[in-house]
């Protein structure tokens, strides 16, 4: 499922298992990143960017579901976002990439290390696709939200409790 640039303000809200991308102008935003991870990619030369919000590290656990919901999985979602951005003229070596989320929000979730596995999946997939990560805001025990202003290339990260 892909979030569309539908609002009058040019803001696309990206939910869990979704992605959005745009060239020119627009704001891509997602909220509630606990153990989920958002990957933000911006190419300042192509003036294009995208954001994926994934919940699970890789599709090997459920290949059928991955075909239905590729953006739910880090490996498939990041690859699909990369392909969409390439169609807008983005080139991995000049992209600014940020990885946000991957927290341990609850003791029972912490034991499964879902957040940590999601961050590792993002790193591995981005590396395989030729992207270098410029900034990571990951781990810990706080929820985060992130937005990308594509025209300016600005990324705003907010942590629960008001920190950014």
CATH number of domain containing 51: 3.30.1330.200
Does the residue 70 lie in any domain? yes
Say if 61 falls within a structural domain.
yes
Active-site position among 12, 14, 22, 36: 36
> Which residues span the domain enclosing 76?
11-159
pLDDT for res 61: 83
Instruction: Please give the pLDDT value at position 22.
Output: 94
Provide the pLDDT for residue 10: 81
In a domain, 2, yes or no: no
Question: What is the distance, to the nearest Å, from the Cα of residue 130 to the centroid of all Cα atoms in its chain?
Answer: 16
pLDDT at 3: 47
pLDDT of the residue at 8: 44
pLDDT of residue 162: 58
Q: Residues with Cβ < 8 Å from 161, sequence gap 6 or more?
A: 142
CA dihedral 67, 53, 134, 115 (to 10 degrees): -90
pLDDT of residue 6: 42
Domain-located, residue 3: no
pTM for the full predicted model: 0.91
* Per-residue pLDDT reduced to its tens digit, 68-90: 999 999 999 999 999 999 999 99
84 vs 11, which has greater pLDDT? 84
Q: Which two tokens stand for residue 47?
A: 């003036």
Annotation says 36 is catalytic? yes
1 has a pLDDT exceeding 60: no
In a domain, 138, yes or no: yes
Q: Give the pLDDT confidence of 36-58 residue by residue, as tens digits.
A: 999 999 999 999 999 999 999 99
User: How many domains is the chain partitioned into structurally?
Assistant: 1
Section 97-102 average pLDDT: 98
Residue 105 lies in a domain: yes
């Amino acid at each position: 499922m892909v979030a569309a640039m539908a609002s009058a303000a040019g803001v696309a809200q990206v939910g869990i298992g979704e992605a959005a991308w745009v060239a020119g102008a627009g704001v891509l935003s997602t909220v509630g990143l606990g153990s989920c991870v958002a990957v933000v990619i911006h190419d300042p030369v192509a003036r294009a960017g995208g954001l994926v919000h994934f919940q699970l590290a890789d599709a090997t656990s459920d290949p059928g579901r991955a075909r239905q919901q590729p953006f739910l999985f880090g490996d498939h979602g990041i690859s699909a976002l990369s392909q969409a951005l390439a169609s807008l003229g983005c080139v991995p070596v000049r992209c600014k990439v940020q990885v946000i989320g991957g927290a341990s929000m609850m003791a029972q979730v912490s034991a499964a290390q879902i957040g940590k596995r999601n961050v590792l999946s993002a790193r591995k997939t981005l590396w395989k696709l030729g992207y270098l990560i410029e900034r990571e805001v990951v781990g810990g025990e706080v929820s985060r939200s992130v937005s990308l202003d594509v025209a300016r290339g600005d990324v705003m990260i907010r942590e629960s409790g008001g920190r950014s």
